[in-house]
Amino acid sequence: MIELVAFDGDDTLWHTESMFALTQQRFRELLSPWVDPQLIDERLLATETGNLQLFGYGIKGFTLSMLETAIELTDGRVPSSTPKELIDAGKAMLAHPVELIEGVEEVVEALRVDHRLIIVTKGDLFDQESKVARSGIADRFDGVEIVSEKDEATYRRILEEYRVRPERFVMVGNSIRSDVLPVVGIGGHAIHVPYPVTWSHELVEPEPELAGRYQVVSSIAEVPAALLQAAA
């Protein structure tokens, strides 16, 4: 029997990565007169990864990493308007309307009849709270956990807080690294709902022995059926 179902936020309940991808495309366009486009992507990812330890996840850190990469790659040759454009791009991301992924509302309505539902999302506290509030579906959930990292310790703490045993817990999300592996690692269930775009940092190849320890579905609409299977 499944008691508690947790949903990831970004790219599981609402679109996010497509907005990052569009901003990154604009970033590439701004720098491409000066730098080889492939190098731009490589260096931005390297800068982001290097900064994770100080910045954590989220749009503000991403914006600072874009600025840092632009300065580094162009050695100050970009027009003075570029830094301003990058800050504005970050602000536009923060102010962007929250677009629910198709099928989310129906699935949440269906599952809340028999389960406690929560959101477990990582990133900037302020930005994530704002997105949850603007999503219009916050009141369907029994709790919202905004965390700085999704590792086994985080999921253990959440299960303790909600007093649920791992075998009665299902995590639904788009990231193998954050939503699947640590949950399976502590004995819980995971349902992977891939999103068309995944940030390179989140891309991992699961170990072969994990095949069969979690389910993959092609859209959130298939989650209720997968849940029945997890409970079986």
Nearest CA-CA partner of 63 in 80, 51, 75:
51
5 pairs with which residues across the strands? 117, 170
- Furthest C-alpha separation in the chain: 61
> Minimum CB separation from its own copies for residue 86, in Å?
9
Residue 5 vs 78, nearer CB to its own copies: 78
| Span 86-105, contacts to its own copies by CB under 8 A | 87, 90-91, 94-95
The C-alpha atoms of residue 99 and residue 109 are separated, in whole angstroms, by 17
Q: Which of 3, 28, 83, 162 binds its own copies (CB under 8 A)?
A: 83
Total residues at the site for its own copies (CB under 8 A)? 34
> Minimum CB separation from its own copies for residue 121, in Å?
11
Binding mask 38-77 for its own copies (x = CB under 8 A): -------------x--xxxxx-xx-xx--xx--xx--xx-
Binding mask 121-140 for its own copies (x = CB under 8 A): ---xxxx-x-----------
Residue 160 vs 209, nearer CB to its own copies: 160
Give the list of residues 6+ apart from residue 162 with CB closer than 8 angstroms, or none. 4, 116, 118, 143
> Minimum CB separation from its own copies for residue 37, in Å?
22
The C-alpha atoms of residue 168 and residue 12 are separated, in whole angstroms, by 21
The C-alpha atoms of residue 58 and residue 193 are separated, in whole angstroms, by 21
